Amino acid sequence: MKDPNNPLADQLAQKFLEVFGNDKKRIRDRKVKIRQLFKFLGRTDVNDRWLYLGGDERPVRELPVLANLDFPEKLERSIKRLEEEMGFEAGTCIRLKIVSLLRTGGTRKGEDKELFGLRKGGGNGTWLIMESPDVWKAQIKAKENLRWYLNWIPKPIRLELWEIYQKRADGEKIFQLDVNRLRAVWKRITQEEIGVALNLHDMRKIGLTWMYVLGVPLEIATELNVGWRDLNTAKRHYLQLRGLLSKTAKAEYAKRIPEWFKEGLEEYTA
């Protein structure tokens, strides 16, 4: 358990989330106790990966694995496995998160922010209106009540959204997944496929990485969909990628980015 290379601690944390993840009333108290155990064992890395508490200061995650040339392929395998385990809607949720840079949000009862606050029809919160896959509009209510508009969603993702959209009544949430289960399953699958347990929030960094590789200028990447009030994080990530990817590696990486992400993005490249 104390050995960071021993997978038992991660497996126990995953099992904890799968068993107790739906118990919203008591999950936090239970997390506090089990986090103390892992801290005692010197495994705070497990707490950061699996047992994050909403009130904590979230540690800045460095993810050099995103620059690996085989990362897009491994991510695609992870999404396919997620869909096999949780259904089509879960895969659309992850792909939209990568494309839009949306934060997770909307996980508390009545909350109308970000991805899990996205509802069918207009309103004051986060909403999506679609007349067809080609005629659509989306407004995002984000942190500190900032408003963003989605300007680009590739057509393959719009087609997936349209399929879900038609099943929802006006005012219903687009994504009706159990977010705690989604987090746990996604972390487990990505740990197995990629070697790193990815948080849902990491999808923003993946989207930003792929925009950099495809030549989208930083000032456009941070305004195209859901951006940053403080641009330092995005700037730092672009600079890190410049150091990690040579010109040749960048060109090769670009070929491996899935087509569902690339469609329509050439309009915004330098």
pLDDT at 23 over 70: no
Instruction: Tell me how far apart the alpha carbons of residues 182 and 51 are, in angstroms, rounded to a whole number.
Output: 14
pLDDT of residue 33: 83
pTM (predicted TM-score): 0.77
Tell me the percentage of the chain whose pLDDT exceeds 70: 87
What is the side-by-side order of every strand in the sheet holding 119-120? 119-120, 127-132, 135-141, 147-149
Domains of the chain: 1-56 (no CATH), 71-179 (3.90.15.10)
pLDDT 10s digits, 230-243: 678 888 899 889 98
Backbone angles phi, psi at 112, to 5 degrees: -120, 30
Report which of residues 9 and 172 the model is more confident about. Answer: 172
pLDDT at 252 over 70: yes
pLDDT at 162 over 90: yes
Alpha helix ranges (H) inside the chain: 8-20, 27-40, 44-50, 71-86, 88-100, 155-165, 179-194, 202-213, 218-221, 232-244, 247-256, 259-262
pLDDT at 115 over 70: yes
Confirm if 166 and 201 have CB atoms less than 8 A apart.
no
pLDDT of residue 197: 95
Instruction: Reduce the DSSP state of residue 57 to 3 states and report it.
Output: coil
Neighbours of 147 (CB within 10 A): 11
